[in-house]
Amino acid sequence: MDIGLERPDEGDLRLPPCRPRSMPAPPQDCWSVLGIVLVLGAMGCIQSISCKAKGIRESISVVDVKASIDPVPTNIDESSSVVLRYRTPHFRASAQVLMPPILKKETWIVGWIQACNHMEFYNYYGEHGMSSWELPDLLEGKIQAISDSDGVNYPWYGNTTETCTIIGPTKKEAKFSVSMNDNFYPSVTWAVPVSESSVAKLTHIHRDQSFTTWLVATNTTTSEMVTLQTIKWRMKLGIEVTPCKPLGQRAKLREPSAQEQPQILNKNEPIPTSALVKPNANDAQVLMWRPTDGPPLVVIPPKYR
């Protein structure tokens, strides 16, 4: 290792010895010994630097994180003669977070970010065809996931219980909770959506969606982002409909009676860029009509173009 000292020419015997001649010569010349001492000293300095207090991003800790889906079946509502409604059980996530003192004048936001990774949402109308809510970029593989933000507070899922803002400088450690919940409550027309007829033709509903939810801390001053926890969850359902039956007796839940519980991952997954920016899933989705015979038709275009 070069420690920045000039070394004398070993062949120049006119240089004075490093030790008095009465002392025995060391195993190595004095310059090598000096070099070792300086290197060891430098290593000690490096070690002391690494032992200094960690930065804020390494010091944020999650005391407790919970994730669950309510252990109840999907509720079916046939009160309308125009649409069938159903309400799925809620996915719920919560966490307690410890934020160390913020020494600088900067702002941190801690909260939940969610993205949809997969969506199947099909409404079958017997021999006539099916309607389908679709996310084109996700379906075509152009993106890995799409933001499930509320459409206002990107990239956050929401801006009430879902996030907490800490404005520095602060003197004390902050402890707080953030929580979120999500479920589906759609309306599906009894009749074929592209028909002027109001006669019920709906025969089956199939839905299968997967999500990734991240607990994140972001420094809004520097745009630094720290992923604290990653959760994966899925919602599935199947509803069979007998359209010729009287209203209130048509639909029956087939699967599942209880949802799989979410997975809290031991190792965090990276957040795709598409999960942080517009559009969100609600604004990007398209309602298609796919007839048994004939070309598909856009029934409701995306809000975001």
pTM of the model: 0.81
User: What does the block give as tokens for 118?
Assistant: 């997969």
pLDDT at 84: 98
Residue 11 has pLDDT above 70, yes or no: no
Which region among 13-22, 186-195, 224-233 has the lowest average model confidence (pLDDT)? 13-22
Which region among 52-66, 73-87, 201-215 has the lowest average model confidence (pLDDT)? 52-66
What confidence tier does 18 reach under pLDDT thresholds 50, 70, 90?
A: very low
Residue 78 has pLDDT above 50, yes or no: yes
Distance (Å, whole) CA 115 – CA 105:
31
Please tell me which residue, 77 or 257, carries the higher pLDDT value.
77
What confidence tier does 305 reach under pLDDT thresholds 50, 70, 90?
A: low
pLDDT tens column, 30-76: 444 344 333 333 333 333 333 333 567 789 999 999 999 999 999 99
DSSP for 236-286, written as a single string: EEEEEE-TTSPTTSSEEEEE-SSPPPPEE-SSPPPPPGGGTSSPBHHHH-E
Distance (Å, whole) CA 55 – CA 101:
10
pLDDT tens column, 245-270: 999 999 999 978 889 999 999 999 99
Distance (Å, whole) CA 276 – CA 78:
37
Residue 124 has pLDDT above 90, yes or no: yes
